[in-house]
Structure 1
Amino acid sequence: MAADDADKAGWPVLAAASAGALLCFLNLSALNVALPAVARSLHASPTQASWILLSYMLVSTVCILSFGRLADLWGRRRLFLAGLALFVAACAACALAPTAGFMLASRIGQAVGAAGVMANASALVSDAFGRRKMGLALGVLAMVAALAQVVGPLAGGFVVSWWGWRVLFMLNVPLGLCVLAWSCKVLPASPMVQAERFDLAGAALSFAGIGCVIYALSMAGPRGWTSTPVWAFMLAGAVAVVLFCGVQMRVASPLVDPSLFTDRGRRTAYAGILLLSMTQAAPLLLVALYLQACAGLAASEAGLRIAPVAVGMLMAAPVAGILLRRFRAETLCVGAMLLAGCALAFLGALLRPEMGGMQLSIGLWALGLGIGSFVTPNNASILQSVAPVRRGIANGVRSTLQNTGIMVGTALALSMALAGLSPGSQRTILGNGGATLSTADVAAFTRGAGSALFLLAVLCLAGAVLIACSRTPHPD
């Protein structure tokens, strides 16, 4: 009875965490559609326009790890509310931005606030529910992220077309204030950990390491993997990561507790989310670019064609949470990665200008089912295996690996897909050129994109084998 009462008290917390996460994810996905209007209105250069979009992912990824640790020390409720308040204020600043530079600074503020929300959402939900209902609750939270991927571009296109891009940001202000008021009311107080200090040296090294690696990956697509700046930033990031690991082994209160990686199951779960996240965004980008460049579809049509991925995630995430009551998390994760790998191989074999819409929808829907079926049990297995006082940093590590995997997979897949094309053809595919592709270019892009999809499929299958081989005996 006590567990049921605790679960009932957790639903308002889930509503608050889901609403906060929804605002952050909607903002990210909606700007993909609104960016051209923003760039034209603010007379942004191509570099400024790209960084208005990329800065959100870069800054939030860099901040999540430190914010996960701060949540354990300072209290999840405090950091969630502070992040949400900053996010709402930054949305208002974006809506009023007079210049591209001011807009970029406001987007960085949004990213910092969003990191405070995203670093705490899963941990807050895990704390609020008992073990029996935790999987379902985390599934609902994952479903919200998938819902944002469906609704964001559609809502963004509608709002920008009818009222302008500034309204898109301004709408977040009253909605965010409502979520903030509700969160203040329902989120339970969280104690501060007085015995431990925040690892400033570790935080600085993590900022430098993750920031340099993510920045290098963001440049790898347009500049190529052999570019000197790409390798310079990658090397600097690798050095910072090595120094970070050394610091974590020596300090009394590390930013990332090394004991998080001593458990084989948790270590494998972290490796699994890194591998799967590499296949999360890259296939959507490749298919969307291919449909526009080779099949001649408009951007809005291409967006609708790739929507089945998000629909599959939306369907699978809560179901996977329910199945956690009957099956082990590792079993569900292996099945999910096998499904995602088969779907990617199917898409790689299917890819051609005249491919059927129904076949494409089935392949993308199956991919979404695989991704959605993995995220919930993977998240639950990580958060259930650590003490509550370590859930913030445990989730921070998971989120950092997920975001890094998305960037790595996107950069790798894009470079493979464009490798056989001239710079002019690459600009045409990426939307910066006005020419049409020749028959030879279409064939080269088809081969490159197909090879990239097959590589992503291999990564999924490798992850399934890794998780299956590391399974521990089920406790009696």
Structure 2
Amino acid sequence: MSQTSRPSPPPVLSPARRWTGLAALAVALLTVGLDLMILNVALPTLAGDLEASTSQLQWIVSAYTVIFAALMLPAGGLGDRYGRKKLLLAGLAAFTGASAWAAYSGSAGMLIAARAAMGIGAAIIVPLSLGILPVLFPPEQRRRAIAVWVGALGVGLPLGPIVGGWLLEHFWWGSVFLINLPIGAAALLASAVLLPESRAPDAPPLDLPGIATSVLGTAALVYGIIQGPEDGWSDPGVLTAIGGGILLLAAFVYRQRHAAHPLVDPQLFTNPNFTWPALAATAGTFTLVGVLFVVPQYLQILGGHSALATGIRLVPLVLALLVAAGAVDKIVTRFGAKIPMVAGLAIAAAAFAVYSRISPDSSYVFTATCLAAMGLGAGLGLTPAVDLVMGTLPADRAAVGSGLLMAIRQIGAAFAIAILGTVLNAIYTRDLDPHLNNVPEPAAEASRDQIAGAYAAAERIGGPRGDELATAAADAFTQAMSGVFIASAVISAILTVLIALRLPASATGTPELSEQQPPAKETG
């Protein structure tokens, strides 16, 4: 394999085909983004209609998350070897078919299996859609295309509660999965017609030990992180899963450094133009996950809004994310990638710090302003970070590199939920417990479990005692929210400083490693 060969430009496609092809990818990503959050508003309905236990409800969510995180890296590698378009179409078909299966599941166990199948499809769609962008667009247009990609995936997250709330108000719970069918079918048809096929020329043999250690390690780690808040961080099963996951991922890294045909280029682990932007992209994901973890509960339970009205009140986050993603191309062209990345993280950190002053009496204007600032920070940071990562990837490893980035982001999202959930529960129970002395034990236990349980218990008790419990729960929950936002602000601030100090100022997203590798082969 020649070390002097340079990547050829993307295949000659008309501008209309490039951008309509990107639109097809955006539709596919929107479906995945919606599904990551849309189920949250349907869980109470599922508990009643399917008689699902708390453990089953957790696995209806977690089965998707674990599979999604574990399979993205090998899915990218398979796409580079056998054809990115071909595998993307398979992923879209799997996701759409599994959505129909989920909609008509007759039991909680069947729904868990369907959600796992949906995770397989999503794990293929996300890295392959990003890995196809260098085939569609030349470097000077790639950043703008990535901004659309980031916007489509990011906007789907807060839109999930809006769409889910509307569907549940008008239809049965299966509609939150059926919505994927027309969108998935449209994306499948458009992708089949508009996207060119591409794959790596002279692809080396698949690194099967690398695939095995990455899949098992990621699955074990994410499972342990998810179970930690539920079973306790000292639980032997949790410790075994996390420890085993870390050991397997360490074995994966070792394997990549010594294998004759590694799944991932070992240079990526030491390249600052990959490492720090990947952390910045993970921080952007952390921002969105942290907000969507607690704010909907605050708006819906303390604010008394419906699921649909709660989703609509998240719109400032969506709009700010879109505005920032749309403007960042010109900013990067003028100032480079480092400045908007650092600025985005700093804005997010400041917004978290300000929002930590929230109370039960805070106005929606305060919430909307903070949400807009967080969306602005995420939008400014994510697009140049993803562009820098793509610029470091060899042309023949675009999809597997995308899978590595997305797996890192998904692990970061799981950590965000686990860490922030632990902080939320610890502060909430600490501040609420002194007010539960005169509350019947069943009501006290329900109140400790979650804010919704406290409000339901207060309504059952009624009178002054019920009002006192509701007030105490609201105060405890907003104090817990403050703790979550302070933790988010600290993490964002630390990453801001580290990236400001360690990311090279000259980082522009110009391919470096790719110049040492042969180009991806366009086959259709």
> With structure 2 as the length reference, what TM-score do the two structures score?
0.84
* SS state at 2:335 partner: coil
Equivalent of 2:366 in 359, 371, 374: 359
1:59 matches 2:79: no
Match of 1:87 among 85, 95, 99: 95
Alignment of 1:280-295 (within 5 A): 280-292=288-300, 294=302
Q: Does 1:429 align with 2:461?
A: no
Which of 256, 263, 273 lines up with 1:255 in the alignment?
263
Residue 404 (str. 1) matches residue 436 (str. 2): no
Tell me if the contact between 2:165 and 2:311 (Cα under 8 Å) persists in the aligned partners. no
Equivalent residue of 2:393, what SS?
coil
| Aligned equivalents of 1:193, 1:99: Cα separation in 2 | 46
- Please tell me whether residue 465 in structure 1 is matched to residue 473 in structure 2: no
What letter corresponds to residue 388 of structure 1 in structure 2? A
CA contact (8 A) 1:20 1:84 kept: yes
Partner SS for 1:326: helix
Q: Structure 1: which 5+ runs fail to align? A: none
In structure 1, how many angstroms separate the alpha carbons of the residues matched to 2:113 and 2:195?
30
Mark the CA change 1:455 to 1:168 in structure 2 (over 3 Å): closer, same or farther: closer
* Identical residues among aligned pairs (%): 28
Residue 308 of structure 1: how far off its partner (Å) = 2.2
Query: Contact conserved, 1:16 with 1:179, CA < 8 A, in 2?
Result: yes
| Residue pair 1:276, 1:459 contacting (<8 A) in 2 also | no
Distance, in Å, in 1 between the alignment partners of 2:180 and 2:40 is 16
- Is this contact kept in 1: 2:454–2:473, CA < 8 A? no
Q: Tell me: CA distance 1:16–1:295, structure 2 relative to 1, closer, same or farther (3 Å).
A: closer
1:41 partnered with 2:49 = yes
Contact 1:123–1:392 (Cα < 8 Å) also in 2: yes
Deviation at 1:414, TM superposition (A): 1.4
2:76–2:401 Cα contact (<8 Å) kept: yes
Deviation of residue 444 (structure 1)?
Answer: 4.2
Query: Counterparts of 1:215-226 in structure 2 under 5 Å?
Result: 215-226=223-234
Question: How far 1:418 moved relative to its partner?
Answer: 1.5
Secondary structure of the 2:198 match is coil
Matches of 1:432 and 1:42, distance apart in 2:
24
For residues 89-136 of structure 1, what are the alpha-carbon distances to aligned partners after superposition, in whole Å with 9 as ceiling and x for unaligned?
111211222222111111111110111111111121232111221111
Tell me the equivalent position of 2:84: 76
State which of 375, 383, 397 in structure 2 corresponds to 1:368: 375
**SS at 1:407 equivalent:** helix
Which residue pairs with 1:450 in the alignment? Answer: 482
User: Contact 1:306 / 1:361 at 8 angstroms: preserved in 2?
Assistant: yes
**Alpha-carbon separation, structure 2, partners of 1:390 and 1:430:** 47
**Is the CA contact (8 Å cut-off) linking 1:213 and 1:237 kept in structure 2?**
yes
Indicate yes or no: 2:422 matched with 1:415. Answer: yes
> Aligned residue for 2:126?
118
Is contact 2:161–2:310 with CA below 8 Å preserved after alignment? no
Partner of 1:157: 165
Code of the aligned partner of 2:388: S
AA aligned opposite 2:240: A
Q: From the CA coordinates, give the structure whose radius of gyration is larger.
A: 2
CA distance in 1 between partners of 2:190 and 2:300 (Å): 42
Q: Distance in 2 between matches of 1:8 and 1:183?
A: 14
- CA drift at 1:471: 3.5
Q: Does 1:264 align with 2:262?
A: no
- 1:458–1:425 CA distance, 2 compared to 1 (3 A): same
Pairwise CA distance, 1:400: 0.9
Say whether the 8 Å CA contact 1:83–1:117 is kept in structure 2: yes
Deviations 1:339-367 (A, max 9, x none): 1110000111x211111211111011100
